A and B are shown apart, each in its own frame.
Chain A
Amino acid sequence: MIRLLGFAAIAVFPLLASPYALTLANYSGLAALVALGLVLLTGVGGLTSFGQAAFVGVGAYATAWLTTAQGASPWLGLALALALSGGIAGLLGAATLRLSGHLLPLSTIAWGLALFFLFGNLDALGRHTGMSDIPPASLFGHTLNSSLAGYTMIWLAVAVAFWLCGNLLDSRAGRAIRALRGGTAMVESLGIDSFAMRLAIFVIAGMLAGLSGWLLAHVQRFISPTAFDVGPGMEYLFMAILGGAGHLAGAILGAAIVTVARDRLQDVLAHIGPNSGQLEVVVFGALFVLILHRARGGLIPAVLKLLPARTRANPPDAAPLSRRALPEAGTVLLEVDQLTKRFGGLVAVNQVSFTLRAGEILGLIGPNGAGKSTLFNLVTGLLRPNAGQVRLLGRDITGASIRRIARLGLARTFQHVKLRPSMSLLENVMLGAHPRGRAGLLAATFRLDRAEEARLAAEAMRQLRRVGLDAAPHGLAGNLALGQQRVLEVARALAADPLLVILDEPAAGLRKPEKAALADLLRQLRAEGVTILLVEHDMEFVMSLVNRIVVMEFGTRLAEGLPAEIRANKAVQEAYLGGVA
């Protein structure tokens, strides 16, 4: 509904606006395209780029050179602009996207400047003066050189890009992209290739900027390098964050506000003095810092609060996804064989062995610092052992990547719950089912993935029902109490159709009734044939629940047996209550 109103407003605007307002609207639209890419990058994907203006330049110069120097059609220029901006983004992304946190945005400043200086110094690109007399695009014999034609092209592009990006975010790949923010550990543990996802949005953002550059070149008909400096690059980022980097609409809102405000400010500030030429940057800067200090979510969240909440129906049932063959109860499922891990001189895990059979709950316990977490990380692929083997159904998975182990059927939960609080329960669980779908980015962008999406949603709904969280599947995961969040993580793990679920201290921080509810759920799952490895230090929780227990202390296996045996074991008592000093 709101979207329709938006599209209608775009359609009606040129009928009412003055030519001057139309020009401003054109610049807003051009900026909105770039900011849209930054929303994908920053607000959604957790990456940041100060160099987007350089991609605008790549698109603009590519088409300007092709159409003026080579006399080619602007439509050919569009193809080149998109290919070049996407290609360069791909190369730069491949080179820099693995870098940790702050080095990536810093590098965007560096290559942004490198491209800017390149534009300004190449003779073929008109050096510092830029290029002029760029031909307008034409369609069916009509030359698109009026302000109105420019408006139509630009805002049509914005509308289409907005729609496609919206499609993308509401898909299997889109969920993976939205899950990138907040760390890759969880994302990789679901079998998702986080690097590929980052690269994808980086390329998309680059192409959106390239598209903006193409439009700029053919609507404005001249270009000069100053528009592609890091300064404008920062302004694009300001637009995205001011509008609300978490929402696509934030890009449009932010672009419009900044474009109009700059225009007004320049008028006002010009009267201050001879050297006040950049004072609007000061105003923007102060505002930007204020927003980063006070309201990092931007304006859209405040706007959304005023609108009525959308009600959504529960996903309908759909054909089930294919399942993997589960082994008979009692089959040896997981074998940990003489596993050893050293950190420097410290032996964190020392020749630990145990086996886990299908259909049972095995508890792995031990006091703090006993090496449980290290063992856990060795089994799930986060760490590589120095010696020993881990086998899943007889297949050696020692040292395999997290992603591969996840895809082989080992699902886990986290001690410090790792959900995406701003995504719905349903979406969080659908993330777990990611490896069971195959629709890619293109299919998602053009809505060819709906049948599979329905099946994924239905599967997630089934799992929510299974754990008893089906009352409000569209509620946000962040609104749940800790106990429910743990249960939601279990549902996410189940959605992967796992051979084995590993729970990392699921009782930590829970109140007594929450613990009891969780224990009931795990018993019910065991009855349904789910195999569970429980890493835990809450003895009461473990004792009441598991079939067998392995106790660790100082990195070695201290004891193994039935709960009652373990409780009576003197060495275990000593380890927990401590020896008398």
Chain B
Amino acid sequence: MLLAQDGIATGAIYALVALGIVLVFLVTRVIFVPFGDLVAYASLSLAALEENRRPGLIWLVLLLAGLAFLTEALTLLRAGHARLLPRAVLLYLLLPALPCAVAYVITPMDVPDLLRIVVTLALVLPTAPLLYRIAFRPIADAPVLVLLIVAVVVHFAMTGIALLCFGPEGARPRPLTGAIFEIGDIIVSGQTLLMLGAAVAASIGLLVFFARTLTGRALRATAINRVGARIVGIRPGEAGTTAFLLAALLAGLSGLLIGPVTTLVYDSGFVIGLKSFVGAIIGGLVSYPGAALGAVAIGLLESFTAFYDSAFKEVVVFAGLVPVLIIRSLLQGQAVEDAEEEL
């Protein structure tokens, strides 16, 4: 029972990340591998703020902002749109620098936990859209395969920078709540409930966003039909930025929730991200509920194998993808495709 509880709680976090993965993939066709990294960055940053250390994420965001601004400025100048430069300064330099400045200032101060959490989230938010601007926007029309390779490469590059910014030590932020509930014989920690609650709330929030708001509908439209979106005036690039922003929010949230439960280091996000991927792939990579269910299944599988032999939990989780893929390819049948010229 405790295993199932653990499994579902971790699964809920994977589900949050998986939702972001599917969202970004559908809107931009980018399989955003560095996604899990953001989870770790959020957790490490919050822990740092709590210990009155400056989070390394500040420098990472500033670096990305600089690079993104350069990319944008070069594109604008080449297209002869120099008059748009001030907007680029605002969007790609000032806006991302804002949370950095706040985080820099409040580090030594004794501020409420809630403020630290908000600042951490605000720090994580710009990372994904900035990466999108630097690495993916310039090749938005490239084949999915190229985008995927870029995503994997970006992950490894980020790992190197993250080591520099965060150092090799792990950190664990304080639990958001220390409450313990007893329901009959079952003991449930407040943190577990919080993880579950956040996952459910975020899923519902996403659902409402897509069904009720114009921006949400525009994102869906871009995912369904890019040309269709363009001819009504929706810019896929802007939709992509929004998708990355939302995804970063989900990743940041996941990091805040999972941090107190597991000690994360600068590169442990990769494995979290990949497990979420496995979940998303089980769900088909195109369906939000499918991805969430798949992610919870992975959480459960992991928690049960860890109980029998913790050394092999990663082996089982990742090897578990192979039978899933076999089933998928059997269902898919003999597909004759007209692939684009790749690479």
Q: Which residues from chain A sit less than 8 Å from chain B, CB to CB?
A: 42-43, 46, 48, 50, 92, 95-96, 98-103, 105-107, 109-111, 113-114, 117-118, 121, 181-185, 188, 231, 234, 237-238, 241, 245, 272-282, 284-286, 288-289, 292-293, 296, 382, 401-402
Can you list 22 A-B contacts (CB < 8 A)? A42-B343, A99-B325, A99-B332, A102-B31, A102-B148, A106-B277, A109-B33, A110-B278, A111-B319, A111-B322, A113-B318, A181-B341, A181-B342, A185-B336, A185-B337, A234-B153, A241-B149, A276-B164, A278-B160, A284-B157, A285-B156, A288-B153
Stretch at the interface among B80-88, B122-130, B225-233, B309-317: B309-317
Which of A114, A121, A234, A278 makes the CB contact (< 8 A) with B319? A114
* Structural contact, A98 and B312, CB atoms closer than 8 A: no
Contacts of A106 on B, CB cut-off 8 Å? 31, 148, 277, 281
A106 vs B271: C-alpha distance when bound (angstroms) = 13
Contacts of A109 on B, CB cut-off 8 Å? 33, 152, 274
Contacts of B158 on A, CB cut-off 8 Å? 285
* Structural contact, A275 and B274, CB atoms closer than 8 A: no
B154 contacts A by Cβ under 8 Å: yes
* Structural contact, B321 and A292, CB atoms closer than 8 A: no
* Structural contact, B153 and A285, CB atoms closer than 8 A: yes
Q: Which residue of B lies closest to A118 (CB)?
A: B315
Q: How far is the CB of B128 from chain A (nearest CB, A)?
A: 16
Beyond A106-B277, A121-B312, whether A99 also contacts B148 by CB under 8 A is no
Q: Which residue of B lies closest to A46 (CB)?
A: B342
Which of A95, A181, A184, A278 makes the CB contact (< 8 A) with B322? A95
Q: How far is the CB of B36 from chain A (nearest CB, A)?
A: 12
Q: How far is the CB of B200 from chain A (nearest CB, A)?
A: 27
B3 contacts A by Cβ under 8 Å: no
A113 vs B272: C-alpha distance when bound (angstroms) = 12
Considering only CB atoms and an 8 Å cut-off, how many residues of chain B contact the other chain? 57
Q: How far is the CB of B299 from chain A (nearest CB, A)?
A: 16
* Structural contact, A296 and B146, CB atoms closer than 8 A: yes
* Structural contact, A102 and B341, CB atoms closer than 8 A: no
* Structural contact, B337 and A117, CB atoms closer than 8 A: no
A288 vs B336: C-alpha distance when bound (angstroms) = 31
For window 319-342 of chain B, which residues contact chain A by CB distance below 8 Å? 319, 321-323, 325-326, 328-329, 332, 334-342
**How many residue-residue contacts, CB under 8 A, span A and B?**
167
Beyond A185-B336, A285-B160, A292-B149, whether A241 also contacts B343 by CB under 8 A is yes
Q: Which residues from chain B sit less than 8 Å from chain A, CB to CB?
A: 31, 33, 135, 138-139, 142-146, 148-150, 152-154, 156-161, 163-164, 167-168, 271, 274, 277-278, 281, 285, 311-312, 314-315, 317-319, 321-323, 325-326, 328-329, 332, 334-343
What 8 A-B pairs are tightest by C-beta distance, nearest first? A285-B157, A114-B318, A282-B160, A278-B160, A121-B311, A117-B314, A114-B319, A98-B329
Contacts of A234 on B, CB cut-off 8 Å? 152-153, 156
Contacts of B153 on A, CB cut-off 8 Å? 234, 238, 285, 288-289, 292
Contacts of B148 on A, CB cut-off 8 Å? 48, 102, 105-106
A285 vs B342: C-alpha distance when bound (angstroms) = 20
Contacts of A289 on B, CB cut-off 8 Å? 135, 150, 153-154, 157
A106 vs B276: C-alpha distance when bound (angstroms) = 12
* Structural contact, A110 and B315, CB atoms closer than 8 A: no
Contacts of A382 on B, CB cut-off 8 Å? 336
* Structural contact, A281 and B159, CB atoms closer than 8 A: yes
Q: Which residue of B lies closest to A280 (CB)?
A: B160
* Structural contact, A117 and B150, CB atoms closer than 8 A: no
* Structural contact, A282 and B322, CB atoms closer than 8 A: no
Q: Which residue of A lies closest to B341 (CB)?
A: A182
Q: Which residue of B lies closest to A422 (CB)?
A: B341
Q: Which residue of B lies closest to A381 (CB)?
A: B336
Beyond A181-B341, A293-B138, A382-B336, whether A101 also contacts B325 by CB under 8 A is no
In this complex, the member of B143, B317, B319 whose beta carbon has the largest number of chain A beta carbons within 10 angstroms is B319
Which of A43, A100, A292 makes the CB contact (< 8 A) with B337? A100
Q: How far is the CB of B130 from chain A (nearest CB, A)?
A: 14
Q: How far is the CB of B51 from chain A (nearest CB, A)?
A: 18
